[in-house]
Structure 1
Amino acid sequence: MTESPRSSVGAGPEQTPDGTVRPPDSDPAELLASVGASWLWTLGSALVTLVPGILILVWPHETLHVLAVIIGLYLLLTGVFRFVAAFSRQAHGERFTRVLLALLFVLAGVLCLRHPLQTIAALSLIVGVTWLVSGMLTLYTALSFKDLPHRGVVFGAGALGVAAGIVVLALPSQSAVVLTRLLGLWLVLLGLMELVLALALRSAIRRTG
């Protein structure tokens, strides 16, 4: 869903109003756009989702505190990845909305990492709302932009996020083991979807040269 940074053949270094030469990548917005357009950045986002899911499935009987830390780190890092990706030149949709969504992930991650978070109900509420809102906005993007690259994959990721949010919110809060396994499963599935998107993006970038 991103494209490689634009380049102008034969163009000289950019100059500032005072006549000094500024390197092309010195603009923070340009730097964020370049990083966010990289398929490796999308791959990193996929791994940030996939690895916590595997950890949760491998150790489903860890304490709630450990689970909250893993989920909190996942949400926090995902927010950072989404924030940078929002500045990609080919980011479809309103950048303001994407930045708000990234801040939602960061806020949810901070709440999960807070020490007072000691109930399954609180953890499921935070994760469920975050996934539900994220999935709805992703679905909106997939439906609104007809020329969206890999639109089917994006739509599938959005639908999966909405389903995950609804199921987690509807799950009885008394079943800690069930919630743990469900969170791990959804994270693995979401991570795999992002991994497919990253590989498709790499293929598209190679085709365009």
Structure 2
Amino acid sequence: MTTSRGPVPGAGPDPMGGGAGLADPAEQLARLGRSWTWILGMAIATLVPGILALVWPDVTLHVLAVLVGLYLLAMGGFRFVAVFGREEQGERLPGLLLAVLFVVGGVLCLRNPLQTIAALSLIVGGVWLVSGIVTLYTAIATKDLPHRGVVMAVAVLGIAAGIVVLALPTESARALTRLLGLWLVLLGLAETAVALAWRSALRRAGVTGHEGSGTVA
């Protein structure tokens, strides 16, 4: 789930320091993290494992754990880069914590001793629940957020996904696969809507290219 603060009207890509030398890595990551295509990449990283889970429901618990673990690791990487797109240093902490949470969750899913239905549900449900709460807080606190309602809806969807996965007992790998696949597809579609909303906001502000002056959480 992603949130982006509204772009500054008339703001475009920052100059590359007059072309002298290499660009600062932090600035390069900030440009990438502010791009609507980066948000779309996060959505695709969510959709793909969800679709695989739905069309391949008979996977073993081991395969499901690997699939979910790779998804969480990928999302951790996407979120880490998105942190640099935030304007204020103090605003980066929540996004950084979420990135770490996704990476830790991915590592735990990939560990053999933890590949049980209960453990996998606990890890994924916990990550979604915390991520949804943080995203909802960010959406409420950021008053100039473009398409604020869409972001809040995505956050609520993430919270609901976490609660359902944590509360709904699943007795088989097949049932868990279908449950996680359904929520991954729903979240992926919602994140796609956020990416398109961010692109629309950039175009209305007259920002050229795929990036703007804003923040991504």
What TM-score do the two structures reach when normalised by structure 2? Answer: 0.85
Are the counterparts in 2 of residues 92 and 145 from structure 1 also a CA contact under 8 Å?
A: no
What amino acid maps onto 1:165 in structure 2? Answer: G
The structure showing larger relative contact order (alpha-carbon pairs under 8 Å, at least 6 residues apart) is 2
Out of 56, 59, 63, the position equivalent to 1:62 is: 59
Deviation at 1:115, TM superposition (A): 2.2
Aligned length: 199
Matched, 1:94 2:101: no
Which of 12, 18, 25 is the aligned partner of 1:13? 18
Residue 104 of structure 1 and its aligned partner are, at CA, apart by: 0.4
Which residue of 2 is the match for residue 18 of structure 1?
none
Please point out which of 166, 169, 174 is paired with 1:172. 169
8 Å contact 2:59–2:174 — kept in the other structure? no
Any unmatched runs of 5+ in structure 2? 207-217
Q: Which residue does the alignment assign to 2:35?
A: 38
What SS does the aligned partner of 1:60 have? coil
Q: Percent identity?
A: 65
Which residue identity does 1:7 align to in structure 2? D
Equivalent of residue 195 in structure 1, options 192, 195, 208: 192
| Correspondences of 1:98-113 after superposition (within 5 Å) | 98-113=95-110
Contact 1:43 1:194 in 2 (8 A): yes
Match of 1:182 among 179, 196, 205: 179
User: How far off its partner does 1:179 sit?
Assistant: 1.9
Given that 2:132 and 2:156 are in contact with CA atoms closer than 8 Å, whether structure 1 keeps it comes out as yes
- Are residues 1:149 and 2:146 paired? yes
Deviations 1:113-162 (A, max 9, x none): 11223210010000010000000001111111121111111101110111
RMSD of Structure 2 on Structure 1 (CA) = 2.1
The one-character-per-residue Cα deviations of 1:3-51 (angstroms, maximum 9, x if unpaired) are 575436xx9728xxxxxx434xx21111111000111111110000001
Distance 2:175 2:109 in 1: 19
Shift of 1:173: 4.0
Is structure 2 residue 128 aligned with structure 1 residue 123? no
Provide the C-alpha distance between the structure 2 equivalents of 1:35 and 1:54, rounded to a whole number of angstroms: 26
What residue in structure 2 maps to residue 22 of structure 1?
Answer: 21
Q: Tell me if structure 2 keeps the 8 A contact 1:34–1:88.
A: yes
Give the greater-gyration-radius structure (CA): 1
**How far apart, CA to CA, are the structure 2 residues paired with 1:126 and 1:12?**
43
